[in-house]
Structure 1
């Protein structure tokens, strides 16, 4: 046996050397099988479950293919959940892009040496702490007796805060039980996922293009609009995919910070865990997949991925 093993090993080594594609296939087949069975398989099972329905009399799952469960998503209560979640995700994405761009631009064009190291540390440090700890910390910060309210009272702006909290729909008794508070926590948690792709895209913008734009008489605003933004768009698109999709599927932040109105993630959790309506939970879970698929398709049609 000891004499056979070297021969087998040598034969495999020669085969892989002569046919590198065989070696590539051997290396890729295990992760592809894992991806296909665990990830794609679970998504397929989820899709199949969404075409079943619940028997209203017995509460048992009716394993006959039907669109009845998807029709339930159009009921006002369920459609409001989808609309609320989508608007929140879009708002967080736009705000994250607006805040992230100047930070990323400074880091890409001006920060050097220790300053760039501090930039990466400042962006990555929040990601090193526990997700739940951050959310509960923000709940305490935004509470009526929290440090933010104390700071607002200290500068004499409590009337402005009360006016904001009095706004219909987005307001509430305090920031910790309002959509404004939910928006702020979403923005804080997902902002690094927007900053880093934008910063990486701006790093690739050639400095000579900016100099050429300046030599041709373009004002800073024109250079930003016609040179920097188009070249930074792949990073913005990549960051928006992260922030938008993560906000769409999150259920912990709305559960801890915000009002009692449900988001898609909470609806999935409630229907699967509490109500036992797995088909409706699966249908709700399909909604973010469809929304992200449409978003990626539209972005591709606009050429947003051409420079990736």
Structure 2
């Protein structure tokens, strides 16, 4: 019985030995192990993101048959020249960048005191409650929140009701409403990186500043802000890039205003001009890559 049992289990030994050799090889070569772990997500990133961007770039150099409306693979720079020289596209680009910059500034000004209170003032229990409160808006649908702000900012909305006794009125639909709504939508994405960065600021530095006579604003300006600056810039990446490519909020609360995303959507849908839409879409892509190149030196990307 013992011999037979041993004979039946003998084939499993080479497999176990191969598994041990493979495990030993991966243990001795951490770079190979890391490469195998990253192979699948990197492949997916290359296929879905990088290849898609390359195809978008290629499409921008094609044309559309004016008679049939079909895309023709005729290489030309006409779409790029139209986007770069057209007064409409220049105006909309400046408007889009302006809205994205305004949203970013507003979110940073709102996020800094909230994140500082969460990281340095609130106790552990209150800190957890505040983190949940910041994350809660992310659980709701983007469209629900945008339409909720449409209701709030309408002429018969709750904001008008609150401002009427003061002799004030809501801004109505337009760029101001767009900035308000986008600031609300992206605020959690700015708070969380700043909160994470402020948590890494040692409390001993704040105590040392206080011991040396530094007041609250002096400590914030000379100690907290320089150390938290990379985290602040990391938060601006989210608000700026997300605002730069948004088009749904403008359709909901922007009235007749247009941003780059609206032009892309119009040319893809109603105009059926995919090459021109691709050329327009390259504008925010170039802007955000330029922005990332600028902030890379601040170490902000390490806080993402």
- TM-score for the superposition, normalised by structure 2: 0.88
Deviation at 1:300, TM superposition (A): 3.0
1:83 corresponds to which of 89, 94, 101: 94
Post-superposition Cα deviations, 1:244-277, rounded to whole Å, max 9, x if no partner, equal: 0011111111111112222111211111122111
Instruction: For structure 2, list consecutive stretches of 5 or more residues without a partner in the other structure.
Output: 1-9
Secondary structure, in 3 states, of the residue corresponding to 1:160?
coil
Residue 211 and residue 43 in structure 1: after superposition, are their counterparts in 2 closer, same or farther (change >3 A)? Answer: same
The equivalent of 1:284 in structure 2 is: 280
Secondary structure, in 3 states, of the residue corresponding to 2:136?
helix
Residues matched between the structures, number: 292
Is 2:128 the counterpart of 1:120?
no
Deviation at 1:99, TM superposition (A): 0.8
The equivalent of 2:148 in structure 1 is: 137
The equivalent of 2:51 in structure 1 is: 41
Cα distance in 1 for partners of 2:109, 2:53 equals 33
The equivalent of 1:109 in structure 2 is: 120
Deviation at 1:213, TM superposition (A): 2.2
Deviation at 1:5, TM superposition (A): 4.5
- CA-atom RMSD, angstroms? 2.2
Residue 306 and residue 152 in structure 1: after superposition, are their counterparts in 2 closer, same or farther (change >3 A)? Answer: closer
Deviation at 1:40, TM superposition (A): 0.8
**Structure label with greater radius of gyration:** 2
Residue 306 and residue 33 in structure 1: after superposition, are their counterparts in 2 closer, same or farther (change >3 A)? Answer: closer
- TM-score for the superposition, normalised by structure 1: 0.87
The correspondence of residues 1-308 of structure 1 with structure 2, limited to 5 A, is: 3=12, 5-6=15-16, 8-56=18-66, 58-73=68-83, 74-153=85-164, 156-157=165-166, 159-161=167-169, 165=171, 175=172, 177-301=173-297, 303-305=298-300, 308=303
Contact persistence 2:175–2:257 (CA under 8 A): no
Deviation at 1:26, TM superposition (A): 2.0
Deviation at 1:188, TM superposition (A): 0.7
Deviation at 1:15, TM superposition (A): 3.1
Cα distance in 2 for partners of 1:84, 1:306 equals 27
Instruction: For structure 1, list consecutive stretches of 5 or more residues without a partner in the other structure.
Output: 166-174
